[in-house]
Amino acid sequence: MEQGLPNVNKPMDYKTYREMMEVLVKAGRVSWDDSINYSPEYTKLNEQRMHRLDKTVHLISGLEEKLKNLDEQYTWVVITEPWCGDASQSVPVIQKAAEVNPNITIQYVMRDTHKDLMNEFLTNGSRSIPKLICYDTSNGKLKWHWGPRPAECQRLFLDMAKDDSIPFEEKAERLHKWYAQDKTMSLQNELLELVSTLS
What's the pLDDT score for residue 5?
73
User: C-alpha dihedral over 109, 112, 117, 118, to 10 degrees?
Assistant: 110
Percent of the chain at pLDDT above 90? 84
The whole domain housing 123 covers 14-196
Domain count, the chain: 1
CATH number, residue 48: 3.40.30.10
Give the model's pLDDT for residue 2: 47
Q: Is residue 74 part of a domain?
A: yes
| Per-residue pLDDT at 7 | 67
Q: pLDDT digits over 154-188, tens only?
A: 999 999 999 999 999 999 999 999 999 999 999 99
Look at residue 8 and tell me if it is in a domain.
Answer: no
Instruction: Give the span between the Cα atoms of 78 and 46, in whole angstroms.
Output: 16
50: in domain: yes
Cα 125 to chain centroid distance, Å, stands at 18
In a domain, 7, yes or no: no
Q: Is residue 1 part of a domain?
A: no
Residue 155 forms part of a structural domain: yes
Helix (H) or strand (E) segment spanning residue 35: none
122 pLDDT more than 80: yes
Dihedral of alpha carbons 108, 135, 143, 63, sign: negative
Instruction: Note whether residue 45 is domain-resident.
Output: yes
Average pLDDT over residues 76-101: 98
